[in-house]
Structure 1
Amino acid sequence: MQLGYHTITWGGVVGHPVGVTSIKDLFYQTNGSMETAVRDIAAAGYEGTEMFDGNLVEYADRPEELRGLLAESGVKLVSVYSGANFIFADILPEELHRINRAAELAATFGAERLVVGGGARRVAGTTDQDYALLARALDQVTDIAESFGLTASYHPHLSTMVESTHELERLMDRTRIGFCPDTAHLAAGGSDPAAVIRKYPDRIRHVHLKDFRADPFQFLPLGEGDLDFPDIIRAVQESGYDSWLMVELDTYDGDPRAAAEISKKYLDKILADSGL
């Protein structure tokens, strides 16, 4: 197992404002410094990182700057995160154009994986046809990723049409995209993360780890919430997945580097105890 950490903690996540009137430009991005994030992630002992597509767009005209930062820090860009509505026919070509750009940049900077979330909830409610539309779009995302030598995976996420175990079941048999379990989002959606991992062992292509407390609702560094990470890691191990574990924490009241160090120390102990 190799350990990585997402840059989201250094500024949270927003959508690019240009995307309000131009769907093809509605990239995710972290508003913090990627230089600080990468250096802190390296100092905390992680070997890899994940970034949002919009943060790569910022380096599109100066690629050597990001390559140099990663090389100097000894951190690999493992994965890039993007997302879309995916169920509205009129805008799907614009969204896939953006996904294509994200995949192109991911490959440019040496990433191996493209992770996507999404699937819009309609005002009138989600229909069975919406899951068919989402599945079809995710197959197209998979084709795009593969055209750039990347592995694609789908990330269930709160506020999308795939939050609960039942909703995930409605999607997974209809699409060939890989699966990226996010432990906190699965738990917040009412699932047992370890059980979901055990249900889809052959589909796992990426893993997001973060802790979660239900009352009060909060995403937390590993070991500070309610989740059973020893069992989650056992489930990952049982699946045969033996690759990057990406720790992700949306926000943190203190120093982002301190949060990264808390999770690293906790995860190192679990992996050592499990013999990994």
Structure 2
Amino acid sequence: MTVKLGTNPIAWSNDDLPELGGDTPLETCLRETREAGFTGTEMGNKFPKQPDALKAKLGEYGLEFVSGWYGAELLTRTVEEEIRAMQPHLDLLAACGCKVMVFAETSGTVQGRRNVPVADRPVMEEDEWPGYLDRIAKLSEYMAGKGVALAFHHHMGTVIEKAAEVDRLLSGTPDTVGLLFDTGHFTFAGDDPAAVSKKWAKRINHVHAKDVRADVLKRALAERWSFLESVINGVYTVPGDGFVDFEAALRPIADAGYGGWIICEAEQDPAKAHPLTYARKGYAHLRATAEKLGLTVQ
């Protein structure tokens, strides 16, 4: 199978913490993304929001537009309300030819609250699950009709963070609910990425590849850091710079015939982790891993 390697501008300029790389020009991010070897990128807040302008800007650097984050509140909204909220973003992705939407459930999330320990995240109540599964199934079917698949992003600090919660989500929904498989978030949550990919390989429709620094993770858990404090202190890094086994994590996906994007995504402080240096390191590790697994990198 053939895969494509892309990245996310969060390594250059962080949307959640604007002070991290806030003064880095978009052009620097795009130029260095291509210099590192990547052929696509996900959305950043400095990107043009009109389809033609966005495609033209990325085209200047030989880059494809892959997808973009959407923070849903489907736990507290109706399907119709969520559709109205997401429609501009969905229209942008569809107009740009994106195959998936990065979709996270952010009702009550603590991921952006710097003074709240990530361990104090909200948890979905037992009686909330049936209605949520029904609504997200209907929403995913609507999105599929528009040509953009839902790629559910389990995320630290949200109601669906751990492998057991992903199991419940996917077990209770149709195939139109795909899984965005994120090695870094599963590892931070205390789960084995390889076990998840082995179980759900057929449902994985997008991949975020980020590594984790074991020493920083140990402190983050012991000292009850918030998600943002963990990021600032370097819990995440690019593939090949931490302790995640990417060959084990990605092998089930490769064996299942995955042919989409693998996104190198590692939010770090660019003042501490030079973006181009780390982007090159992440690209090299991902490409070597893909080739070991018999994948062709386009």
Aligned positions of 1:57-72 closer than 5 A: 58-60=48-50, 63-72=51-60
One-letter amino acid of the counterpart of residue 100, structure 1: Q
Preserved CA contact (<8 Å) 1:221 1:249: yes
Aligned to 1:210: 210
Aligned to 1:78: 66
Aligned positions of 1:219-234 closer than 5 A: 219-234=236-251
Aligned match for 2:262, one of 241, 245, 252: 245
TM-score (norm 2): 0.78
Preserved CA contact (<8 Å) 1:81 1:115: yes
Instruction: Please give the secondary structure, in 1, of the residue aligned with 2:259.
Output: coil
Distance 1:126 1:244 in 2: 30
Instruction: Please give the secondary structure, in 2, of the residue aligned with 1:82.
Output: strand
Distance 1:238 1:71 in 2: 32
Distance 1:179 1:31 in 2: 33
One-letter amino acid of the counterpart of residue 16, structure 2: V
Preserved CA contact (<8 Å) 1:12 1:31: no
Aligned match for 2:136, one of 138, 148, 168: 138
Distance 1:229 1:111 in 2: 25
Distance 1:200 1:141 in 2: 21
Preserved CA contact (<8 Å) 2:210 2:238: yes
Aligned-pair CA distance for 1:135: 2.2
TM-score (norm 1): 0.83
1:196 and 2:196 aligned: yes
Aligned match for 1:34, one of 15, 26, 36: 26
Distance 1:203 1:124 in 2: 25
Pair 64,33 (structure 1): closer, same or farther in 2 beyond 3 Å:
farther
1:272 and 2:291 aligned: yes
Preserved CA contact (<8 Å) 2:254 2:293: no
Distance 1:148 1:142 in 2: 10
Aligned match for 1:262, one of 263, 267, 281: 281
Distance 1:144 1:8 in 2: 29
1:49 and 2:41 aligned: yes
Pair 171,99 (structure 1): closer, same or farther in 2 beyond 3 Å:
same
Preserved CA contact (<8 Å) 2:49 2:92: no
Preserved CA contact (<8 Å) 1:198 1:239: no
Instruction: Please give the secondary structure, in 1, of the residue aligned with 2:68.
Output: strand
Aligned-pair CA distance for 1:161: 1.3
Aligned-pair CA distance for 1:120: 3.1
Instruction: Please give the secondary structure, in 1, of the residue aligned with 2:248.
Output: helix
One-letter amino acid of the counterpart of residue 200, structure 1: W
1:173 and 2:171 aligned: yes
Instruction: Please give the secondary structure, in 2, of the residue aligned with 1:79.
Output: coil
Pair 118,255 (structure 1): closer, same or farther in 2 beyond 3 Å:
same
Aligned-pair CA distance for 1:133: 3.5
Instruction: Please give the secondary structure, in 2, of the residue aligned with 1:117.
Output: strand
What are the Cα deviations for residues 145-202 of structure 1, in whole angstroms up to 9, with x where unaligned? 2233112110111111111121212221222311111000011111110110110122
Distance 1:238 1:31 in 2: 42
What are the Cα deviations for residues 74-110 of structure 1, in whole angstroms up to 9, with x where unaligned? 11112222122321147x6554322221110112223
Aligned to 1:107: 94
